[in-house]
Amino acid sequence: MRVGVLTGGGDAAGLNAAIRAVGRTTLRSGSEFVGVVNGWAGLLDGGETIALDDRSLIGALREGGTMLGSSRTNPLAIDRGLENVEASLAAQGIDALVAIGGDDTLSVAARLAERGVPVVGLPKTVDFDLAVTEYCIGFDSAVAIVVEALDRLHTTAASHHRVMVCEVMGRASGWLAVMGGIAGGADLVVIPEFPISLDQVVEVLNERKSRGRMYSIVVVAEGAEIEGLHVPDDPAAPKDAFGHVSLSQRAVGERLGGAILHATGHETRATVLGHVQRGGSPVVSDRIWPTRLGLAVTDALFEGTFGICAIVQDGGVAFVPLSDVVASQKRVPRSLYDVVARVN
């Protein structure tokens, strides 16, 4: 048996821990283990893989990023892309594939599974918007970065009596903003799920000032819409193969900071955390869960179970069909969003 593993989409801390767990289980069963290079790009046109042995996995547990490389290549957007992947799997001699990724990567895996390809999945996304699972590789590490940044912004905001706007990742969901905001003591979070107006932002900040709070911390998700804040659509903004427009030029944090200064006269600074949230070593949970999920999904694969994703449910490891994981996206519930406003 030859088992392949790939990582697709944005990188995240904890991917290497998952690769290590899949690899160690595979190699100890006497099977071969290969890494697919650069996500689905490495399974097109014959494919590109690297053989991984036990030594190549040493140290992987604590390394950030992905040792295999990643891409946003989408076989579903390529003519006969799924057939191309199947032919590449055959050319590389891969008998079973572990795909690690978010809804884009796993939607390709789900389609391959429908066609009878022996594939299983592991959930990864710093956006935390995958349905069903209580845990996604990389989210906890990214939240830890947000919290550290907010702690640091607090001390400088307090010293200079400023408003600090912190822009975090989150295209369509505000999990990083809300969870980071709760743990980091944000005074206001602005997220895609619950759009608010610039007037409401100003009202919150003025109300805080009237209570004698001389500084405020605002966390805004990069994809948030704010009524009254002009964020022009950039027709030239690049789109990835899954149709997502790059949000890097949107600059919602900078624009919000400028608008707050204009509307309140309160000195304001903006910080964009960007890819700092995805880089660096995994926190404890992003070592333990990728290891547990990686072991579980590899055991399932050796038992001949395919088309499933290992997830966390009710605090333990569970399996669901790949199609369930990509059927919908998980959004921040109102009750969680409201926490920040109740303690600011």
Q: Which residue's Cβ lies closest to ligand F6P? A: 10
Residue 193 interacting with ligand F6P (CB under 6 A): no
Residue 261 φ/ψ, nearest 5 degrees: -60, -45
Query: CA–CA separation, 22 vs 303, rounded Å?
Result: 14
Residue 43 interacting with ligand F6P (CB under 6 A): no
Residue 171 interacting with ligand F6P (CB under 6 A): yes
Return the CA Rg of the chain. Answer: 21
Residue from 10, 81, 257, 290 in contact with ligand F6P (CB under 6 A): 10
Instruction: Decide whether 34 or 37 has the Cβ nearer to ligand F6P.
Output: 37
Query: CA–CA separation, 173 vs 333, rounded Å?
Result: 10
Contact 181, 219 (CB under 8 A): yes
Instruction: Decide whether 63 or 127 has the Cβ nearer to ligand F6P.
Output: 127
Residue tagged active-site, from 103, 127, 187, 286: 127
Q: Residue type for 208, please? A: R
Residue from 18, 57, 169, 317 in contact with ligand F6P (CB under 6 A): 169
Instruction: Decide whether 197 or 328 has the Cβ nearer to ligand F6P.
Output: 328
Tell me the window of 89-97, 163-171, 279-287, 298-306 that interacts with ligand F6P (CB under 6 A). 163-171
Query: CA–CA separation, 250 vs 221, rounded Å?
Result: 11
Q: Supply 23's token pair.
A: 């690899």
Is 127 a known active-site residue? yes
Residue 174 interacting with ligand F6P (CB under 6 A): no
**Cβ at position 329, least distance to ligand F6P in Å:** 12
Contact 23, 298 (CB under 8 A): no
Residue numbers 121-150 binding ligand F6P by CB under 6 A: 126-127
Burial of 245 from C-beta contacts in 10 A (0-12 / 13-18 / 19+): middle
- Give the number of other CB atoms < 10 A from CB of residue 341: 12
Contacts of 236 (CB under 8 A, 6+ apart): none
Total of residues contacting ligand F6P (CB under 6 A):
12
Query: CA–CA separation, 274 vs 253, rounded Å?
Result: 11
Residue numbers 243-262 binding ligand F6P by CB under 6 A: 246-248
**Cβ at position 153, least distance to ligand F6P in Å:** 20
**Residues that bind ligand F6P in the complex, under the rule CB under 6 A:** 9-10, 126-127, 169-171, 222, 246-248, 278
Catalytic residues: 127
